[in-house]
């Protein structure tokens, strides 16, 4: 197989979003949708895998899930944060865990992307007061994450404020907490679109 035909490898590590919670089939989840979007943008076949856990915090990503990655992927995506918010973990803890997780990820892969927390603050399953509190915490967490990623020279993708154009009914799965199939696809498109400069380098160098 020629280098141009070699599949690119995508690994996602993180929380319930990485394993497609909320939809009936994992093939309708975030990681496969990212693989499809990546293939469309690069013109290369994509092999994907995910290491995720429902309820995972960045601390779990750091100590439990990243050590599961034994391959050297072309692109490694970290996706966690919402559970840290729900557990009311401090920004000091978040800073420490994200920084360490990025260092571990960079030791595994040259191209790392960090996705912000999702839009839990919109969830119909939560009361209005709690949604407002989570929005404030999410904004603070996103600002910290952006600064850490800039310092570490990794791509940061802000999904917290990404406008999918969907109504609440279209955005959420039946559990009113995880994204719908359509929402996963749009979020995946947004992630890949925001990571485009890195992906063009990926195609040229891989």
pTM of the predicted model over 0.95 = no
Q: What is the mean pLDDT of the chain?
A: 92
CB 151 within 8 A of CB 139: no
Task: Tell me the C-alpha distance between 66 and 90, whole Å.
Answer: 22
pLDDT, tens digit (0-9, with 9 covering 90-100), for 101-115: 999 999 999 999 999
pLDDT, tens digit (0-9, with 9 covering 90-100), for 57-72: 999 999 999 999 999 9
The whole-number average pLDDT for the span 128-154 is: 95
Surface-to-core class of residue 130, CB atoms within 10 Å of its CB (0-12 exposed, 13-18 middle, 19+ buried): middle
């Amino acid at each position: 197989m020629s280098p141009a035909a070699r599949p690119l490898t995508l690994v996602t590590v993180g929380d319930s979003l990485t394993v497609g919670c909320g939809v009936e089939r994992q093939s309708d989840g975030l990681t496969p949708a990212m693989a499809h979007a990546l293939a469309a943008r690069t013109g290369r076949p994509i092999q994907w895998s995910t290491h995720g856990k429902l309820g995972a915090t960045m601390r779990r990503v750091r100590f439990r899930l990243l050590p599961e990655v034994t391959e050297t992927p072309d692109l490694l995506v970290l996706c966690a944060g919402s559970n840290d918010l729900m557990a009311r973990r401090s920004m000091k803890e978040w800073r420490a865990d994200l920084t360490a997780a990025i260092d571990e990820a960079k030791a595994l892969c040259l191209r790392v992307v960090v996705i912000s927390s999702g839009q839990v603050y919109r969830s119909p399953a939560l009361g209005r007061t709690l949604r407002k509190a989570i929005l404030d915490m999410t904004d603070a967490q996103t600002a910290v994450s952006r600064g850490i990623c800039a310092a570490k020279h990794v791509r940061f993708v802000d999904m917290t404020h990404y406008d999918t154009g969907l109504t609440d009914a279209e955005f959420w799965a039946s559990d009113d907490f995880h994204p719908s199939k359509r929402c996963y696809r749009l979020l995946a498109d947004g992630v890949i679109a925001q990571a485009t400069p890195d992906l063009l380098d990926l195609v040229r160098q891989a």
